[in-house]
Amino acid sequence: MLQLANTPASKNLKLSVLTAAILISNSALAEHNNNQLDKKNVEEVKVWGESKASDQADFTTPNSVLTREDFQSINIATTEDVVKFEPSIVIRRRFIGDSNGTMGIRGSNMFQTSRSMVFADGVPLHYHLQSRWSGAPRWTMVSASEIAQVEVLYGPYSAEYSGNAMGGVVVIETAIPQQREFHFDGAFFTQDFNAYKFDDSVNGFKGFISAADKIGDLSLYASYNHLNNDAQPQSFYYNTPTETDNPNTATGAYAGKSSTGDDVLYFSDSGVVNTQTDNLKFKVGYDFGHWQTLLNIAYEDRQSSSDSPTPFLEDLNGNKIWGGNVVVDGQNLTIPASRLAVSDMDRRSLSVGLRLKGDLNSNTSLEANLNQFSILEDQNRSSSVNPNHPSYTLDGQVSDYDDTGWTTAEAKLRFSQLGNTHLALVTGVRHESYQLNYSVYDSSNYAAGSKDTLTNTSGGETSINAAFAQFSWDINSQWDMAFGARFESWKSSNGYISEENTTTGNVEKAPVPEISAEKLSPKLSVGFSPNSDWQLRYSLARAYRFPIVEELFSQYQAYNAISLANPELKPEDGIHQNIMIERSLNNGYARINVFTETIEDAIDSQTTLLPGGGSVRTFSPVDETKAQGVEFIVNQYDFLISDLDMRFNWAYIDTEVISNSTAEGDDISPENSIVGNELPRMPHWRGNLMASYALTEKWTTSVNLQYASDAYGRTDNTDTERNVYGAQDGYTRIGLKTHYALNKTLKLGIGIDNLTNEIAYVAHPWPGRTVYFTLAYDLK
């Protein structure tokens, strides 16, 4: 059963539970509304998926639902903005247009990307091929402007989802056209940023256009989204002073601290990052009888350029220093020439999804989803040194993904009555296969993408076949139960890493042995409703998260980065528990969730920084980790006064490494053990507030707030320095937004994120103060 240890952290947790319980118990009497907000003044839209209410027997997983009415409080530039204020969620979007917008939910941090799932109209957006910053969901395959509803599911308590739902699932539904309509929206954004020696503004813009129609039973939709944005420097390069040979005298270094508190000299930033993203979307739906189909085609073309690193150092003649040994302020420093190299990235992706839903009879329905996601191109071209370096040539490096993507197929049967009206069943099967192939080449002309000599290559495949069944039982008017299980058969295959042929000196592929596993994950949820105003639910689940291709096979060495894979990783084995207490409010609800997550064989990815800014990444298992927390949530329309809508959540979480003997050995000294340490990138406290008030029928103004306490970025918890590059800082960010409808077709808006221009770091810097100017036009 769920237990909280008697530690200082758990005492804070218990106090949080007690405080939240008192707040709920003092709530005014309210009408029961099936735990769904009474949406007012919202244009009715048709979506495919429907969220579950907490008084239904098949409600096993705590959830949070957002509609277009809720979006009004958020400055939205890209899709991940929609969920950034939801309970116990963090989106690591370092700038608008960031391709590395990873997501963390509850006890799974933002770099444990394969512990969360994202679907849009049944199509997977989660990227379960890679982890850490490379494993961000493909958010841009759906545009923020087409979203009608979002539901966040917390934890793996439903047998319908795999162990990749250890953190949670984001379910996005877009509107299904019901008439001829045209939409356009545009935004201009500008950001102020001042850190280290960078002090400037960077700007960007977004344009979106869509057209849709409903012709009889046929619905058609097409859209185009363009984003172009300049971002603040993402890295600030430093080195520790040390003895060097034949140093040149220099000035301009920035003396500061590393995240571990060492005295270092910063010698450059990575420069402004320019990102351009184009998205094309086509949807074709057709209704025939009791059946509905939807064909979903999404194409992404993304380009990113990092070609303007700014060295801080100058020689005595005022010339910028791009590498070499220097002496500055009496301290010797080495500047790796490759650290200030330039790079360009091109990525093109295509996703095709097919969805089918219909009634087999009055009691049984079928839903099927197919998806093929393909990386058409994903190439990064890097110079060996900066073009301003005296020894610059076109020599460089080209890294490339080839034959990379996934295929998924799923079919579900739902029986609304199984023998009697009180028992229901959902059952189904699912297949997933993933393929990743990555190669690194030395190039004589990096700018042209010339691939001359293969230096590293690795890749492989994984597949999962699953079957599940979940029963829902309305025992009586007060009690309900859901119970089920998910069986999964997992296999890795065709894995390989680089191996140098000692005879020829050429790089060849060395095969990696196949491994497989079969696991059964039972689920249980029991609900109790003493009356129409209160809900109490206990959910228990086991979940297995299988290793992904990168963790098993991704082994390479590129400029400034080394990756070491681990082909013998076991599946993560999790026991998850959640107690939910909910009180219905007029036009809303108040809710407490208390949860624990115990994970065995947790796959931990750590990065060790090398001198000059390079890094080594490894994947290793941790015997056992634990996270326990509490969430307090209030969502209500007409909060206190009419036309004031409010969404508030506050969460506390305590994390710990329980055991790590497998990784560290039995004779590890206590001072070097990570047992008892906090898990990385997991702040104890998180909170969000969104409030929107309708000043008139045409004019709405909103305020939002994000808070997080600081955290560690390393499992050894040695990164204790705050407000420096590389740190995991806490933050308090205030946002404002107002929009005015000139008429039925045209709206204007202005918004601000990070009003106080707080500079904080999530290793890389979060954005500074950002101002938005928006325009939207609708014609129906």
Q: Tell me: pLDDT of 335 over 50.
A: yes
- The answer, yes or no, to whether residue 23 has pLDDT greater than 50, is no
If one counts every other C-beta atom within 10 angstroms of the C-beta of residue 329, the result is 12
Main-chain phi, psi angles of 139, to 5 degrees? -55, -35
Q: Which helix (H) or strand (E) holds 645?
A: strand 644-659
pLDDT at 10: 45
Nearest to 186, CA basis, from 742, 748, 737: 748
Per-residue pLDDT at 560: 57
For residues 70-100, b (16+ Cβ closer than 10 Å) or e, as one string?
bbbbbbbbbbbbbbbbbbbbbbbbbbbbbbb
* Interval 559-594: pLDDT, tens: 555 667 788 889 999 999 999 999 999 999 999 999
Kind plus residue range of the DSSP H or E element containing 13: helix 8-25
For 337-350, the pLDDT digits (tens) are: 899 999 999 999 99
Question: Using CA atoms, how far apart are residues 354 and 369, in angstroms rounded to an integer?
Answer: 6
221 and 283 in contact (C-beta within 8 Å)?
yes
In three-state secondary structure terms, 731 is strand
Window from 28-32, 253-257, 290-294, 308-312 with minimum mean pLDDT: 28-32
**Cα separation, 582 vs 27, whole angstroms:** 11
Q: What is the pLDDT of residue 541?
A: 98
Could you give the C-alpha distances from 545 to 255, 464, 496, in angstroms and in order?
Answer: 43, 11, 22
Report whether 755 contacts 776 (CB < 8 A): no
Residues forming a β-bridge with 176: none
Q: What is the pLDDT of residues 517-542, one digit of tens each?
A: 999 999 999 999 999 999 999 999 99
How deeply is 352 buried, as exposed, middle or buried, from its count of CB atoms within 10 A (0-12, 13-18, 19+)? middle
pLDDT-derived band of residue 639, with 50, 70 and 90 as boundaries? very high
* pLDDT score of 502: 73
Query: What pLDDT does residue 558 have?
Result: 54
d(CA 481, CA 492): 36
Burial status of residue 403 (CB atoms within 10 A of its CB: 0-12, 13-18, 19 or more): exposed
Residue 319 has pLDDT above 90, yes or no: yes
What is the pTM for the complete model shown? 0.92
Q: How far is Cα 707 from Cα 725, in angstroms, rounded to an integer? A: 19
User: Residue 48: which pLDDT band, with cuts at 50, 70 and 90?
Assistant: confident
Q: How far from the centroid of its chain's Cα atoms is residue 380's Cα?
A: 22
Query: Quick one: pLDDT band at residue 739, thresholds 50, 70, 90?
Result: very high
The per-residue pLDDT for 24 is 36
Tens digit of each residue's pLDDT (9 = 90 or more) over 710-728: 999 988 899 999 999 999 9
With a cut of 90, say whether residue 191 has pLDDT above it.
yes
The bridge status of strand 273-288 relative to strand 218-231 is antiparallel
Average pLDDT rounded to a whole number, residues 174-185 = 94
SS3 at position 624: strand
Answer yes or no: CATH 2.40.170.20 is held by domain 8-235+270-307+342-779. yes
Q: What's the pLDDT tens digit per position in 362-421?
A: 999 999 999 999 999 999 999 999 999 999 999 999 999 999 999 999 999 999 988 888
- Type of residue at 628: Q
Residue 496: closest CA among 617, 407, 403: 403
Residue 662, H or E segment: helix 661-664
Distance of alpha carbon 705 from alpha carbon 555, whole angstroms:
41
Q: In this structure, are residues 706 and 84 in contact, taking their beta carbons and an 8 Å threshold?
A: yes
Length of the chain equals: 780
What pLDDT shows up at residue 501?
A: 78
Report how far residue 443's alpha carbon sits from residue 381's, in angstroms, rounded to the nearest whole number.
9
Q: Does residue 8 carry a pLDDT above 80?
A: no
Does pLDDT of 508 surpass 50?
Answer: yes
* Confidence band for 740, pLDDT divided at 50, 70 and 90: very high
* Structure token digits, residue 137: 């969901």
pLDDT tens, residue by residue, 250-278? 999 999 999 999 999 999 999 999 999 99
Q: How far apart are CA 471 and CA 413, in angstroms?
A: 12
Instruction: Decide the pairing of beta strands 116-120 and 123-124.
Output: antiparallel
Residue 37 has pLDDT above 70, yes or no: no
Q: Mean pLDDT across the chain, nearest whole number?
A: 90
> DSSP label at 371?
E
Residue among 72, 71, 69, 99 nearest 83 (CA): 71
Which phi and psi angles does 494 have, rounded to 5°? 55, 30
Instruction: For the chain, give the percent of residues with pLDDT over 70.
Output: 90
- The secondary structure element, H or E, covering residue 24 is helix 8-25
Please check the confidence at residue 42 and state whether its pLDDT lies above 90: no
- What pLDDT score was predicted for residue 52? 81
- At residue 450, the 3 state secondary structure works out as coil
Residue 626 — pLDDT band, cuts 50, 70, 90?
very high
Q: Are 587 and 603 in contact (CB under 8 A)?
A: no
| pLDDT band for position 27 (cuts 50, 70, 90) | very low
The per-residue pLDDT for 611 is: 54
10-14 contacts: CB < 8 A, separation 24 or more? 10/628, 10/654, 12/652, 12/654, 12/684, 13/628, 13/629, 13/630, 13/652, 13/654
The three-class DSSP label of residue 372 is: strand
**Side chain identity, residue 339:** R
Quote the DSSP letter at residue 728.
B
Please choose, from the candidates 593, 566, 572, 682, the residue with its C-alpha nearest in 3D space to the C-alpha of residue 162: 572
The proportion of the chain whose per-residue pLDDT surpasses 90, expressed as a percent, equals 79
CA of 457: how far to CAs of 47, 159, 399, 496, 508, in Å? 44, 37, 9, 8, 8
Task: Specify the DSSP class assigned to residue 421.
Answer: T
Residue 39 has pLDDT above 80, yes or no: no
Q: What per-residue confidence (pLDDT) applies to 606? A: 65
Cα-based torsion angle of the residue sequence 146, 151, 155, 161 in order, rounded to the nearest 10 degrees: -70
SS3 553: helix
First to last CA, the chain: 55
Per-residue confidence (pLDDT) for residue 46, from 0 to 100: 81
> To which H or E segment does residue 412 belong?
strand 405-415
From 39-53, 147-161, 452-466, the region with the lowest mean pLDDT: 39-53
Alpha carbon distance 675, 656 (integer Å): 8
Average pLDDT for residues 162-182, to the nearest whole number? 95
The least confident of 62-76, 143-157, 359-373, 548-562 is 548-562
Q: What is the DSSP string of 666-724?
A: TT--GGG--TTPPPTT--SEEEEEEEEEESSSSEEEEEEEEEE--B-SSTT------SS
Q: Are 719 and 726 in contact (CB under 8 A)?
A: yes
Q: pLDDT tens digits, residue range 144-159?
A: 999 999 999 999 999 9
| pLDDT above 60 (res 610) | no
List C-alpha distances in Å: 673 to 378, 569, 745: 39, 21, 62
For residue 541 the two structure tokens come to: 């689940």
Alpha carbon of residue 318 to chain centroid: 44
User: Please, what's the largest Cα pairwise distance for the chain?
Assistant: 88
CB hemisphere CA count around 166 (13 angstroms): 30
Could you identify the residue written with the tokens 């057209």? 211
Note the pLDDT of residue 43. Answer: 58
Fill in the DSSP letter of residue 111: T
- Predicted local confidence at residue 55, as pLDDT: 81
Please classify residue 187 by burial: count the beta carbons closer than 10 Å to its beta carbon, then call 0-12 exposed, 13-18 middle and 19+ buried.
buried
Cα separation, 583 vs 595, whole angstroms: 18
What would the mean pLDDT of 172-191 be, rounded to a whole number?
Answer: 95
Read off the pLDDT of each residue in 15-42 and give the average, rounded to a whole number: 39
Q: For position 38, what pLDDT does the model report?
A: 44
CB 46 within 8 A of CB 178: yes
Name which residue leads in pLDDT, 275 or 613: 275
